[in-house]
Amino acid sequence: MTDILSLAYPWIKGLHIVSVISWMAALFYLPRLMVHHTERVGLSGETHEIFAMMEYKLAKVIMSPAMMATWLFGLILVATPGIVFWGDVWPWLKATGVIGMTGFHIWLMGRMKGFQRGENSLTGKQYRIANEVPTLLMILIVFSVTVKF
């Protein structure tokens, strides 16, 4: 099994990177849609229905499958011998960042479902601030992996 993982490593790493890029794109875009939905559209009418549909499709068709693929390929990479040394600090920082990113994903899914029901308790400014969360987590994750402190 370890031979297969070692041979597949560059392919799994490539698939992991592609899925991370897809996940991050959705995590960046969904809060921006919610800013405009909140500030320009409101919670009823035809434009609301269009925004709710766009948010739903982004979340369900792109964001969630990309998150699942990211986790799957990431766990396969972790299982590959010689890749992760748990005595170092960086894998723990990366894991913390990925868990935080997953929490943010779940929070966004809740906001998306609220818009679907015609409910929203946040302002455009709050969504703008929330939009910085994936950037900060991405910085933590990328530098923990590349610098490996």
Chain position carrying tokens 């015609």: 118
Residue 125 in contact with residue 39, Cβ under 8 Å? no
pLDDT single digits (tens) 96-146: 999 999 999 999 999 999 999 999 999 999 999 999 999 999 999 999 999
Q: Which residues contact 91 (CB under 8 A, 6 or more apart)?
A: 78, 84, 85, 144
Helix axes 90-116, 46-57, angle to 10 degrees: 150
In this prediction, residue 6 has a pLDDT band, given cuts at 50, 70 and 90, of confident
In the chain, how many domains are there? 1
Residue 1 pLDDT level (bands cut at 50, 70, 90):
low
Please say whether the beta carbons of 116 and 52 come within 8 A: yes
Among the listed residues 15, 21, 105, 16, the one whose alpha carbon sits nearest the alpha carbon of residue 60: 105
DSSP 62: I
Is residue 57 scored above 80 in pLDDT?
Answer: yes
> Residue 2: is its pLDDT beyond 90?
no
- The structure tokens listed for 95 are 């894991």
Evaluate the CA torsion angle 56, 58, 114, 64 in order and state its sign. Answer: positive
pLDDT-derived band at 149 (thresholds 50, 70, 90) equals confident
CB 137 within 8 A of CB 60: no
Domain enclosing residue 138, as ranges: 2-147
Per-residue pLDDT of 17-26, as tens digits, reads: 999 999 999 9
